[in-house]
Structure formats: structure tokens, C-alpha cells
Structure 1
């Protein structure tokens, strides 16, 4: 059985967010709960992922990240040399963009290939990452890249509550 772990970004994912709906879709979906959602420290988020997964057979694990969690998952994999089944990385935030000024400490966009299968899903009108930067992240991470068109930040504000297409993409992992 595959174990899916929801990894929300900055601020967590609310009740209507597609990640929350994925989480409710089966008992093998669990959320990784960070201690600090609004002013996170990268090393804390990475440690929480590692601690959450320590008792699982990593070959059964798929991470489902959104926004800031995409870079966190990449950094976790690289720092800890972890091999999991795969990760779905949706709407990765461009932490190097001039407009990204959230109180997040120690986060960066890893510039190394992720050592397992990943899919990056991005939008042409995401306010937190241009489509070209998202494609660049996918290239350096060794990820499959999917452009879903005008979908904003692929969150509730952009209308992504139920996201059956996302669930279909997830099944590819």
C-alpha cells in the first residue's frame, strides 16, 4: 500500500484546499503537521518530515507538497539522502523572487537533482512563480513538468478545492 503524506506550504492548507480534500480521500493519506506554519524555519520543517516518516518503509511513501513545501521536500531529500516512491510538487514558490518576502527562515530553492521520481505541476499565472522558473526548478530537480495553464497558485483562491485532475497526476507516482 502506498502511504501519501500531505505537506502543506506556508500557512498550512485550509479545510477546502485540494490537499485537505486529498487527505480525506483515504486512510493512507496523512498530513505532516509542522509546529510553525506562519513563520517557519526550514531545518524545523525538514526535521518534522524526517521524524514523521521514520517508522515507514520509504519505498511506500509519496509526498504531496504545495508551495513552500516543494522546496522543503527537495531540501529534505538532498540533505538526508532519502529514497521514497515519489513526490508531487505543486505550485513551487520562487523563494528568490523579489516579491517573496514572507517570514520564512533558511529556505532556498535546491539546485540539485532530487533522488527519486517527482512531478512538478505549475500554472502560467501563479503570482509566486513564473512558468519559466517552475520549469527551471523541474529541470534542475529532474522532475517531470506539467503546465496546467491559467490556474493561479493552484489553491482555494484559484478555485482548487476538489482537484480530480491532481489526483490522477498523483496516481502516476
Structure 2
């Protein structure tokens, strides 16, 4: 009898949960920054977002970005980015969160961001919206590269220097 009650309780708690992944054709992840010459922007072309969700929380969120898919449209800048992010040794950037709360149109909570092999806890507060066929999550994270052991890239014999602070803008369409 205990086994049946326990099974029913687990079923009741998980009935409204659904596993999701990001639809890559309708999702974006953009890194923006500054330099001593001009502002710049790079787009991550290969990333994945998976997890489980219900009306009140997101669990087991796992975001993975392929470092060598981050493209600016300028091969020299891309090569400097990959070198700074230590792409050969750490080919992916990760964000993982066990539980995030869904409250009043926002997904909020803490997770661990790992860049170039260094991990740090960060807080996110993303806008969320139910859409036909999925759930749209969008937000912005600002961080300093040096906090992750990344030396901001330079070019032209050091005359062009990248700023330490970058902004990551993301918009994911999560589908079942």
C-alpha cells in the first residue's frame, strides 16, 4: 500500500512537468563587448539548452555553448576569442542550475557558469512567456572576463584592447 501511495504522490508531483530543449532555429545567444577601437558582437551558432519545467519552476537546466561556434564575422577576432577562452582545453561554456523559480513572468535563481574551466555562481532573472508550441525565455547577463581567468584579447600589437566586461543576451524558445 505504501508503494502505491508513494507512486501516486510522485506521479502527481511530476504530471505537469515537461522536458524541454531550445529550438535552435528560433533561439539566439549573442556576446557583446567594447574595445579601444569599436564595440563588437559575436553570435554563438552552436548551443543547447535542456531541462524540465512546470508552472512554478525549472529544474536541471543545462546550457552548453561550443566556444568555436562563437563568430564575429572577422576571423582574426574569432581566433583571438578562442585563444582567450582556452577553447582547445575547454571547448564548451556551461551554465547549470538545479532549480530556478518561475514567478510573475520571470525565471529567477542561481546557477553555475563555467568559462575557460573556471566556475562561478551567478544569479539570473530572465523574462518568460508562454507561446504557442513552447515557452520563450530571454535575458541579459553582464560579467567580467577576468573573473573567469580570461585575459581580454588584444590585437595590432596591443594597440587594440578589448574591454573586460561583456554582455550576454539570450532568447531561447523552449519546446517539448
TM range, normalised to the smaller chain? under 0.3
Greater helix proportion? 1
Greater CA radius of gyration, 1 or 2? 2
Greater strand proportion? 2
Q: Could you tell me the TM-score, scaled by structure 2's length?
A: 0.27
Q: Could you tell me the TM-score, scaled by structure 1's length?
A: 0.28
